[in-house]
Structure 1
Amino acid sequence: MTELRPDLALIAQNVAKGTRVLDVGCGDGTLLQVLRDERQCQVNGMEIDPGDVAECVGKGLSVIQGDADKDLAFYPDGAFDYAILSQTLQTTMRPDQVMEELLRIGRKAFVSFPNFAHWRVRLSLLWGGRMPVTRLLPVAWYETPNIHHLTVSDFRAFVEERGIKVEEAWYLSGDRLRGTSVANFRAEHAIFLLSRS
Structure 2
Amino acid sequence: MSVFEPRAGGREQTIVRGDHRAVARMVPRGARVLDIGCDDGTLLELLTRECDVDGRGIEISQAGVNKCVERGLSAIQGDADTDLDDYPDQAFDVVVMSQTLQATRDPKAVVENLLRIGKQVIISIPNFAHWRNRLQLLVLGRMPVTKYLPYEWYNTPNIHFCSLRDFVEMCRELDAHVDTAVALSALGKEMKVPAPWWLWNIFAEQAVFRLTRDD
TM-score (norm 2): 0.89
1:108 aligned partner, one-letter code: Q
CA distance in 1, matches of 2:26, 2:208: 11
- Structure 1 position 196 matched with structure 2 position 213: yes
Q: Identify the residue that residue 177 of structure 1 maps to in structure 2.
A: 190
Q: Which residue of 2 aligns with 1:90?
A: 102
Q: CA deviation at 1:14?
A: 1.6
Structure (1/2) with the larger helix percentage: 1
Task: Please state whether the residue corresponding to 1:37 is helix, strand or coil.
Answer: helix
Report the counterpart of residue 102 of structure 1 in structure 2.
114
Q: Residues 97-145 of structure 1: CA distance to partner in whole angstroms, max 9, x if unpaired? A: 1001101110000011100000000000000000011111111011111
Using the TM superposition, give the Cα deviation of residue 37 of structure 1 relative to its aligned residue in structure 2, in angstroms: 2.0
Indicate the residue corresponding to 2:73 in structure 1.
61
* Candidates 111, 132, 141, aligned match of 1:129: 141
- In 1, are the aligned partners of 2:112 and 2:174 still within 8 Å (CA)? no
**How far apart, CA to CA, are the structure 1 residues paired with 2:43 and 2:211?**
19
Aligned to 1:32: 44
User: Which digits, 9 at most, give the CA deviation of each residue in 1:22-55, with x for residues without a partner?
Assistant: 0000011011111112211100000001101001
1:20 corresponding residue in structure 2: 32
Task: Tell me the CA shift for residue 60 of structure 1.
Answer: 1.1
Residue number in structure 2 paired with 1:186: 203
Q: Which residue of 2 aligns with 1:149?
A: 161
Taking every aligned residue pair, what percent have the same amino acid on both sides? 49
Which ranges in structure 1 are unaligned for 5 or more consecutive residues? none
Counterpart CA distance in 2 for 1:97 and 1:8 is 24
Specify which of 143, 152, 168 is matched with residue 140 of structure 1.
152
Aligned residue for 2:59?
Answer: 47
